[in-house]
Amino acid sequence: MRVAALYDVHGNLPALEAVLREVAEAGADRIVFGGDLVPGPMPRETFARLHALDLPAQFIHGNGDREVLAIMRGQEPTTVPTPYWPMMRWVAGQLDPREEPFLASWPLTLRVRIDGIGDVLFCHATPRNDMDIFTTRTPEERLMPLFGSVDADLVVCGHTHLPFDRRVGHVRVVNAGSVGMPFGHTGADWLLLGPDVELRHTTYDLADAAARIRETAYPAAEEFAGTYVLQPPSEESILEAYAKAELNA
């Protein structure tokens, strides 16, 4: 079995469409969506595409999905900075209320056995929550409390939008990067699992994607198109920012 791991789509439908074409060409048998699917400029359209998938799919929630679900239930966001509340409320308002049970059914983690790899644990940030930040630069000793007792051959995560492949103790930890909001370069990042671990990168028509995003009523459409599609922040700048928030340091 070959599994495609798609993380942090963030409502970027053009990027998702491009990746799904490559997933099909690669012969994947299943897709695991690793969270933060809907917060972004095309949440309703993204859900429609998910419901039309030709491949079996499984989902885990990200912190953004969790907050959107809370808003759909009439609650205030709890882990999103106040300036982002208008965007999250707009996303929640775009979704059909009938999507709520679907969103609510997504677990925090998921286990899948993949030929050639073994037991794979999928999580959004870390196995303990959907918010932890760590990178290739995070010292192993700080990560051992989170991964040292994990009973899996591979842990796949996302959340930071920076792909990497590293070890923490006995466990291989791979970040899938982001389909819809990659940092350090343009395009879309994802993983193909089985029998090997392949970090994949998909290019697509960025100008067309930016134009489609700017046509939406998303409150941050211009920023999303300009900053996260056409000219993402550098990897170095993001790593420096993450160092200040690393594991809630």
Q: Write the pLDDT tens digit of every residue in 50-88.
A: 999 999 999 999 999 999 999 999 998 888 888 888 999
Please check whether residue 179 is in contact with residue 19, taking contact to mean a CB–CB distance below 8 angstroms. yes
| pLDDT above 80 (res 143) | yes
249 pLDDT more than 70: no
> Structural domains in the chain?
3-248 (3.60.21.10)
According to the model, what pLDDT value does residue 80 have?
A: 81
Tens digit of each residue's pLDDT (9 = 90 or more) over 156-196: 999 999 999 999 999 999 999 999 999 999 999 999 999 99
Q: 102-131: per-residue pLDDT in tens?
A: 999 999 999 999 999 999 999 999 999 999
All residues at 6 or more sequence positions from 29 whose CB lies less than 8 Å from its CB, including other chains: 1, 2, 3, 55, 56
Q: Do residues 112 and 34 touch, judged by C-beta distance below 8 A?
A: no
Q: How far is residue 229's CA from residue 226's CA, in Å, rounded to a whole number?
A: 6
Give the integer Cα–Cα distance in Å for 219 and 197: 37
Element (H, E) at 191: strand 188-193
